[in-house]
Structure 1
Amino acid sequence: MKKLLIATAALSALALSRVEACTNFIITRGASTDSSVMVTYAADSHQLYGALYYRPARDYRPGETLKIYEWDTGRYLGEIPQVAHTYQTVGNMNEHQLIIGETTYGGRPELEDSTGIMDYGSLIYITLQRAKTAREAIDVIVNLANTYGYASSGESFSIADPDEAWIFEMIGKGCKMVNGKNVNKGIVWVARRIPDGYVCAHANQARITQFPKDDPENCLYAPDVISFAREAGLYNGTDADFSFCDTYAPLDFSGMRGCEARVWSMFRRITPGMDRYLDYALGKNPENRMPLWVKPAKRISPKEVMDFMRDHYEDTPMDMRYDIGAGGHHLPYRWRPMGFEVDGVKYLNERATATQQTGFWFMAQARNYLPDPIGGVYWFGVDDAGTSCLTPIYCSVTEIPECFREGNGHMTEYSPTSAFWLFNRVTNFAYLRYDMMSADILKVVNERENGQLKKVQQIDAKALSLYKTNPEAAIRLLTDYSVKTAQEMFDKWVELDRYLLVKYMDGNVKKERNGKFLDNGYGRNIPASPDFPGYNDEWKKAVAGSTGDRLKEIEIKK
């Protein structure tokens, strides 16, 4: 998602500006346990409502146009000609198993184009309607941005299909007006195919440095990506030394500590030796740059990929659970703004992969060994990935579960049938005593996700058998399963919401046995005396230290 754009020289200001940010992980077929291509995305924003976008395939008459509204703001930007046929899209995946995710890196603010009408969100969702493969998607994005002008700042895209995965980075060319027209309209860009068996990631910092100029099978780029940089006074070295990110989005402390650190935290889970880049992740050594992609020590399962999105830097030097900012219950979050100042000294809280202000998130799988309607599974969730649950939605569904539908509530209107509001109720309550409540929530999350991963294999087999003779019946089966499973998850969270309130009401913890709350033994529906867990030791010491003798017990001599 977008963040404020500030000149790269203003490091402290930039560090405070990255308050809305997203994270993408990309796993190639050869790196996954089930030979699927997987992409994750968290749409992190303080203003985005979590809903599952659905656009059925459609035919259009010649001359019809498409109105463009900026995804972040809803601002009308203009209109473009519509194509004759658009493909069905479910969230950030289409009927051909094409997946697109993004993170905004901003880059040089002077390269923004105020005359453009294609913002990054529109590029995603229009491209999904018009492209079948990752390579086609790259062409569509480039053509749209160059034809109609690019209305956003620097952007990294994850673009994947059942066979291959790419990281694509782009930025505008700024405004150079001649006779009322911007002669710099369009983008400069580079796209690199991730080698099979490897894993890539990006998190609001451009990551492509030098790239091969003579390998179109694995690397594509704008013909003027280097010459434009020279003309704009951004680069004066050789073609061989040209680095896309160092030229168009120079690295700074915030880019390392607030962004690249999220990539590092995931890479270290799957690849030995990543701790040698710790000084880079901490923002201390830009020369010790991490690789663009890494080869995992072993193949990665879909459940592991889901859990990567729940990372809070646990057991690293950036772990947020043990300083006073975590409060009395080891909360791994900090409220915005990220930066603060004390006695003229500036400080910056961590920005982990899992964050409170998430509209929606997903883990999408593209599987080339199944027909498209069955092969594409879009695991979708809303709110904070740390304590929310993903549920499978096949890319061929003809109906969206009510709890995820657009129009079912919005950011300033509560809906009792909306998953976004329900998950926010549960998670915001858990923030009060995270060390205890999050364990209860994650127990349910893991049971459901592990159960559905097994169930999907059974549904795949049933649908494939049916698809051979009756494709329409197979799609009905997949739709019914997707809708029913999502509603069952919603119902489970209604139950969980009530359970947590009863168990943790008023700072107490009611006693349980065999899944039932204990009473006091007198048959009058009065609970057994509850536990009083109090606060963690860090909090007690901080309170004692900040109050002096005010709370100190004294002994009264008799």
Structure 2
Amino acid sequence: MKKQLLAGLIATAIASPAFACTTILVGNQVSSDGSFLVARNEDYSATNAKHFLIHPRKENQRGEFHSNGNDFTYPLPEISLRYTSLSDYDTQDRSMGEAGFNELGVGMTATETIYNGQQVLKYDPYVLKTGINEDSIENVILPRIHSAKEGAELLGKIIETKGAAEGFGVAFVDKHDIWYLETGSGHQWMARRIPHDKYFVSANQGRLQKVDLKDSHNYLGSKDLISFAIKHGLYNPKTDGAFNFHTVYSQDLKNDVTYNYPRVWTLQHKFNPGLATKIGDGKSFPVFLKPAHKLSVQDLESALRNHYQGTPHDPYMNANPNEPYRPISVFRTQESHILQVRPDMPAEIGNVEYVAFGMTALGVYLPFYQGITQIPKGFDVGTNKASNDSVAWKFRKLQTLAMVNYKQYAPIVQKAYHQFEKQTFANQKKMEQRYLAIYKKDPKAARELIQNLENKTTEQALVLTDQLTNQLFTKLTHDTDMKYHFEGA
């Protein structure tokens, strides 16, 4: 994840990634309940409050979308579908949407920062001023698409015609498939349908390799994807073997060994403990894997909270802010989300967006069903300064406090949130059973079940967060008193 202030760094693609994310995609045949799962941590700034929003359906629209990040514009759709977003506070809630579902049950997450190769960018640089970037992608694409594949096709078309302002990966999901798109350069791109019996992990690198544009059921790409590479001497079919998108359009640099490889390696070994790959061999990591056991939402929550626990590379338990291995869970995470699509259930309850604000290792995931009518108060306010009315800041205050003494304070927060998530999951199952029993004959009452659960869950989460904040303040007050007691003999 990144903003336009990174344009210079991205254009040259030679600096260490300053802002970044981790993405996990899971096919429905290897999830525990037949779900498609799309997950990502959005990592940028700890002081940037996110606004969780529902954009209402709009008809007879005219005019253009204008990016807050650069001069990119795009015509508004005549009919804008209802959709959710997680926007930055300073976008007037109109851009930097990050993730959500639209009213047709199509979901997306944007973006995974990737860095295309320096050589290819010499011939086709990013279109920094007017190309599409993270600020625009969700808010332009999601309100107008009817399927995951259509989302990849539309974004690809925009990249080819208007250009990409930066390197990125974007995932789309519906009840049939997950599609993942990666940029290759300013105007080159490819997308892959994720195999239903595999999972995929990305950590700030182009990860896609094989491409067969004749197989449009599984692959999409720019029209001259391969001929462009041949023309500019980036690929020789006579000597280089089968075309490899990563080799031609992405890169492997020294900093990848500590910044990117450890995250992919850790999650692949978490889901496949018998894997024989070495942490420094990122070029040979499998692109897709079948997990040793089927993956659940809870497995992905655990994965997105990973910080190399139980190893010398855990920066938090070891109080080492200079740890070279970049953890998956970082303090500057703005929000984390998991999009769940259960194809065999009504979309109102089958599509769930799990959202955790702030640092995942100290955060709590809250479920938001597609069938909600409104997002509770406080989720759409907050700036870059702490305030009492912002839900995002309520969570961030507790996390900041816990980081003062992670070894002592973090377990308190984690234990309480774990129990809360466990109870919430049980409440979800009860609500879903009641919903299924009445939604056909009384859809209004069924939707009220969803909203009531939403209101109760978020309210309880905020009450618990206040309690934990006060508990840690009490402990910190006592610890400070003991440290500077100055009591007479």
Change (3 A) 1:461 1:38: same
Tell me how far apart the structure 2 counterparts of residues 363 and 150 of structure 1 sit (CA, whole Å): 29
Q: What corresponds to 2:77 in structure 1?
A: 83
Q: After superposition, what is the alpha-carbon deviation per residue over 1:440-488, rounded to whole angstroms, capped at 9, x for unaligned?
A: 0111111111111221112222222332023333223322322331122
Structure-1 separation of matches of 2:302 and 2:250: 29
Tell me the equivalent position of 2:105.
97
The answer to whether residue 406 in structure 2 is matched with residue 418 in structure 1 is: no
Alpha-carbon shift at residue 365 of structure 1 (Å): 0.6
Inter-partner Cα distance in structure 1 for 2:158 and 2:215? 24
Whole-angstrom distance in 2 between the partners of 1:459 and 1:121 = 36
Pair 78,168 (structure 1): closer, same or farther in 2 beyond 3 Å: closer
Name the structure 2 match of 1:465: 437
Which residue is equivalent to 2:172? 159
Does structure 2 conserve the Cα–Cα contact (< 8 Å) formed by 1:65 and 1:79? no
- Give 1:220 deviation, angstroms: 1.8
1:243 counterpart residue number: 244
Give the Cα separation in 2 of the matches to 1:392 and 1:170.
31
Q: 1:59–1:84: 8 Å Cα contact kept in structure 2?
A: yes
Q: Which residue of 2 aligns with 1:409?
A: 382
Match of 1:131 in 2: 145
Count of aligned residue pairs for this structure pair: 456
Residue 76 of structure 1: how far off its partner (Å): 5.1
Deviations 1:268-312 (A, max 9, x none): 11113334232325xxxx4xx101111111111211111110001
Q: Are positions 1:482 and 2:454 aligned together?
A: yes
Q: 2:88 maps to what in 1?
A: none
1:496 equivalenced with 2:468 (yes/no): yes
2:157: which partner in 1? 143
What amino acid does structure 2 have at the position aligned with 1:377?
V
| Aligned residue in 2 for 1:390 | 365
RMSD over equivalenced CA pairs, Å: 2.3
Moved more, 90-99 or 495-504: 90-99
1:442 maps onto 2:456 in alignment: no
Change (3 A) 1:462 1:269: same
Structure 1 residue 266 corresponds to structure 2 residue 280: no
1:234 Cα deviation from its structure 2 partner: 3.0
Asked whether the equivalents of residues 22 and 41 of structure 2 are also in contact (C-alpha less than 8 Å), the reply is: yes
Provide the rounded CA distance (Å) in 1 between the counterparts of 2:29 and 2:53.
30
Percent identity between the two aligned chains? 23
Which one is further off, 244-253 or 19-28?
Answer: 244-253
Given that 1:119 and 1:150 are in contact with CA atoms closer than 8 Å, whether structure 2 keeps it comes out as no
Structure 2 alignment gaps of length 5 or more: 86-98, 484-489
Please give the alpha-carbon distance, in whole angstroms, between the structure 2 residues aligned to 1:68 and 1:476. Answer: 36
2:115 alignment counterpart:
106
The correspondence of residues 48-447 of structure 1 with structure 2, limited to 5 A, is: 48-61=48-61, 64-69=62-67, 74-75=68-69, 77-91=71-85, 92-94=99-101, 95-101=103-109, 102-107=111-116, 108=118, 109-110=121-122, 111-147=125-161, 149-173=162-186, 187-238=187-238, 241-280=242-281, 286=283, 289-316=284-311, 319-321=313-315, 330-331=318-319, 334=321, 349-405=324-380, 408-412=381-385, 414-447=386-419
Deviations 1:124-171 (A, max 9, x none): 232111112211111221233334x13421111122222222221114
- Match of residue 94 from structure 2: none
- Matched position secondary structure for 1:274: coil
Larger Rg: 1
Paired amino acid for 2:297: P
C-alpha separation between the residues in 2 aligned to 1:316 and 1:508? 30
What is the TM-score of this pair, normalised by structure 1? 0.77
Give the Cα separation in 1 of the matches to 2:433 and 2:82: 23
Conserved 8 A contact 1:467-1:474:
yes
Structure 1 position 316, deviation (Å)? 4.5
Give the partner amino acid of 2:35: S
- What is the CA distance between 1:203 and its match in structure 2? 1.2
Distance (whole Å) between structure 1 residues aligned to residue 388 and residue 342 of structure 2: 35
Gaps of 5+ in 1: 174-186, 339-347, 510-529, 533-558
* Structure-1 separation of matches of 2:255 and 2:247: 14
Task: Quote how far apart the aligned CAs of 1:376 are.
Answer: 0.8
Alignment of 1:37-52 (within 5 A): 37-46=36-45, 48-52=48-52
Contact 1:212/1:219 (CA < 8 Å) preserved in 2?
A: yes
Task: Tell whether the 8 Å contact from 2:152 to 2:180 is kept in structure 1 after alignment.
Answer: no
Q: CA deviation at 1:253?
A: 2.0
- The structural deviation recorded for 1:119 is 1.8
